[in-house]
Every structure is written in C-alpha cells, then in structure tokens.
Chain A
C-alpha cells in the first residue's frame, strides 16, 4: 500500500514538540521563570535546619534508655559546638562590617549556607536559610564580613538563592583604589580588617575625580576555581592610575551595591592602547565559612537618586560660594 505523502506547510515545523518547547522556553528564560518553583521545592530544607524533638522510648529497658540518653547528650554537645562555631563566624563577620562599614551594620543579618553549589558548569549559586520573611529581597548584597561574594538572585519565604560574583551572569560595578593597602596572604573573614590602615582616607575620597576614572564593571567568568577566583574588569580608563596590588571595592554607580565592599586586589594590568583590561584576584573564599551576611540594601528609586544628586550638587555650590 502506498504511503500517503504528508503535506508540508509553514506550520509543520512548529508542530514538532521540541520546536514548541524551544518557542515556549525563550519568553520564559527572558522573564527569569523557574526560580520560584525551585525555591518552593527547596523550602523544606530551610525547615529541616531547625531542631527536632526527641522521641519517647517508654518500652525500652533502663540500660537501653540510658544509652540512648547518652547518645542524645553527645549529639546535643556536638550540635552546641557546631552552633557555637556558627555564632563565632557570625560575630567575626558582623564585627568586620561594624569596623569597616558602620553605616551598613544595622542592615546586616546573618544567614546559614544550606546548599553550596550548582549543577550547571556556568552558574554559581548558593542557597541560604533566610527569605522574604526575614526582610531579604532580590538584589541584596551577600558578604563574608565586608567581602562581597554575590547578591540575592531570588528570595523565597525562608530560603534564598544567592548568585555568586563568579557566575557568568553577574556584573559588579567596582572602583579601583590606588595606593590602598595590599591584601594579606592569610585568608580569613577578618584578615582585611586587620590590614586596612585607619589613617588612609581612601573611602572618604571614593567620589573624587581620581577615583571616578578608576571605575569599571567586573564580570563573572564561570571559573571552577573553588578558592580565590580571578575575575576580569574590562574597559578601564587609560588615564586611571591603576597598579598591581591595588584594592578593588564596590561602587554604588548603579545602586545595586553600597560603596566600599571589598572585592579583591588587582593581580594583572593589560594595556590595550585605548583602555585597560584588569584581572582581579577575588577575596571571596567560600571554603572558610558556613555563615554569610546579607545586607538589606535597597536600590534607590529614580526619584531618590535624583534627589541625592541634586542635594550633592546643591552642597557643592554652597561650598563654592563660600
């Protein structure tokens, strides 16, 4: 029997399930669909991080009950030691923020890392046990002490996904601070606090003309380096005074991050004739901590931004008139 020839029309390719899936995927990908569902599924992990009640063992003998009690007490000791360690890490981080960026200390809250990783080779994500119920919102910077590690990509009720600065989709506006103290070899949450000279007024001068030139955008490069990733900053002004070893901090040019969060140090400077390409050795090291700090920094609205700029200009004019 002769097979009936199928009629090919313009609509024929669109009837293929894979083509339909691709067409459906594109608008969803652009709108960032999927994270809500993922966080909804991971929400039980945040509940599980709480403590469970001990079961009743009335039917057991005295010896068995004592052995169980002993095991339970040993678990409690281990749990307390672990809790103590988390509190110590949290205290160190909050102290670092209070010492370096006191204006942010009221907005800083501690979070525990639930999942440290991502199944994709291109995305770098961690999940933390705080969500919208704790005041966390999308875009909040996440730090270890005052060292930036990423921003909240999506916030659920009690769990949030944090996009790390090494994620290929992450862009951080930064300022390179010339002549700032170099980073120490030792990598702990407080290492930078110890080495920053309190008499150096680079943070007060962060808006000066010199530092305006030293601005750039640092991008994630999907590196698999678990410690101390190297991140590129491209198109830095050729006139900027940048040298290897200079500190790199965030700037609030786009309002995403507060100024002054530590990012790392410049490890390479490449002159491309019309601009500079830099490589930053990030200070981020997730292997040293189980606790991170979320800074509930809100991106200013357009009106607020305009008002701040106007006020600044107004103050400048008053000073000039004086």
Chain B
C-alpha cells in the first residue's frame, strides 16, 4: 500500500514545460491563429482539451495547481478578468480527477463525449462569469454558442490524446500504475 502510494506520487517529468510552455503556446495559438478559422461560427476551444487531458491522464500530484496555471496562461492573453479560466480549469480538475478511473478514458468515443461535455460546461460557466459583471449575450444564445463550441471541439479530443501519448513515448515519460502518465 505504502509502496504503491510512493510510486503514484513520484515526481512528475517535464511538468514545468508541459504546464507553462504548453499553456502559453496554446494560448498564443488561440490568440493569433485559431481565431482566424471559423467552424460553425465558432472557434475550437483547444486549451480546455489540454486541461482535460491533464486531468484524466496526468500525475495527480499537485492536484488542480497545474490546470489553474494553464488557465492563468489563457487569462493573460484574454480580455476578461484575470483568473476566470484559472478557476474554471481548477474546478474541472477538482470534479473530474477523482473520477478518472470511471470515465473509460482510453476509449476515443468516451473521450469525445467527455470533451464535448466539459467544453460546454466551461463555456457556459465563462458566460455566467460575464453575466455576474453585467455582460453576456443572453442564456439561450450562450447555450447555442457553447453547444456549437462543444460540437466543434469534442471530436478533436481523441486526436489530442493520440498526439500527446505519441509525444510522451518520444520523451520516455513513464506510465504509472493505474494508467496515469507521469507528467
């Protein structure tokens, strides 16, 4: 028991690079490139997929800290109040990380569905954060907008997982007991 706990909690590899480098790179990608592509009138929400991947596959050490850091990177390049995405991504990790073993996370179909659900939730919550300060586009419009973002983003999750797992193999990142990657 003590041994398995020790293995599970071993120091993550490349965490700083994946959290700060990856978070900043994806935020820049969103700010400079992705917003030139329009699919169904919306842009895909790639940083949320990255956070979801970290949540369901990453080393649980550090709890929601890494996800909050990725959210903070995104907040830095967004016009909204600082900390909105940080808190939302922290909550995503808080709610999904303890349930990662029950999510059939290796299956591309469940990955897709989970990604669509999480992206929808994050975008609705972001709209709620705007409503708090007196902005927003109305709840029915926001629901439609969030559903479209979820529909565009969800199918990308298996590709992101596949790409990340390939990258982990190249970097010799160990797989921990329980199926988590040591990042």
Whether B27 pairs with A119 at a CB distance below 8 angstroms is: yes
* Shortest distance from the beta carbon of A90 to any chain B beta carbon, whole Å: 23
Q: Does B173 contact A (CB under 8 A)?
A: no
Inter-chain CA distance A35–B43, complex, in Å, is 23
* Shortest distance from the beta carbon of B47 to any chain A beta carbon, whole Å: 7
Please tell me which one of the listed residues A35, A153, A163, A226 contacts residue B36 in the complex, with CB atoms under 8 A apart: A226
Inter-chain CA distance A221–B84, complex, in Å, is 19
Whether A224 pairs with B43 at a CB distance below 8 angstroms is: yes
Q: Known: A25-B87, A115-B31, A225-B41. Is A124-B137 also a contact (CB below 8 A)?
A: no
Whether B137 pairs with A168 at a CB distance below 8 angstroms is: yes
Whether A34 pairs with B75 at a CB distance below 8 angstroms is: yes
Q: Does A215 contact B (CB under 8 A)?
A: no
Please tell me which one of the listed residues B35, B38, B87, B135 contacts residue A169 in the complex, with CB atoms under 8 A apart: B135
User: What B residues does A24 contact at CB under 8 A?
Assistant: 83
Whether B91 pairs with A34 at a CB distance below 8 angstroms is: no
Whether B84 pairs with A121 at a CB distance below 8 angstroms is: no
- In B128-183, which residues have CB < 8 Å from any A CB? 129-130, 132-133, 135-137, 141, 145, 149
Q: Known: A168-B130, A221-B137. Is A118-B35 also a contact (CB below 8 A)?
A: yes
If over half of B's interface residues share one DSSP class (helix, strand or loop), that class is named, otherwise mixed; here it is: helix
- In B26-73, which residues have CB < 8 Å from any A CB? 27-28, 30-32, 35-36, 38-39, 41-43, 45, 47, 64, 68
Q: Known: A21-B87, A34-B81, A38-B82. Is A121-B137 also a contact (CB below 8 A)?
A: no
Whether B38 pairs with A224 at a CB distance below 8 angstroms is: yes
Q: Does A54 contact B (CB under 8 A)?
A: no
* Shortest distance from the beta carbon of A272 to any chain B beta carbon, whole Å: 14
User: What A residues does B35 contact at CB under 8 A?
Assistant: 117-118, 224, 226
Q: Known: A222-B145, A226-B36. Is A28-B78 also a contact (CB below 8 A)?
A: no
Number of interface residues, chain A, beta carbon within 8 A: 41
- In A106-158, which residues have CB < 8 Å from any B CB? 115-125, 153
Q: Does A161 contact B (CB under 8 A)?
A: yes
Inter-chain CA distance A305–B47, complex, in Å, is 46
Write out, one digit per residue, whether chain A residues 29-55 have a CB within 8 A of any chain B CB (1) or not (0). Answer: 110111101100100000000000000
Whether A221 pairs with B130 at a CB distance below 8 angstroms is: no
Closest 7 CB pairs of A and B: A34-B82, A125-B79, A169-B135, A29-B81, A120-B78, A123-B79, A119-B77
The 10 listed contacts between A and B (C-beta, < 8 Å) are A21-B68, A29-B132, A30-B133, A33-B81, A35-B79, A38-B82, A116-B32, A117-B35, A120-B126, A123-B78
Instruction: Give B contacts to A, CB under 8 Å.
Output: 27-28, 30-32, 35-36, 38-39, 41-43, 45, 47, 64, 68, 74-87, 90-91, 94, 123, 126-127, 129-130, 132-133, 135-137, 141, 145, 149
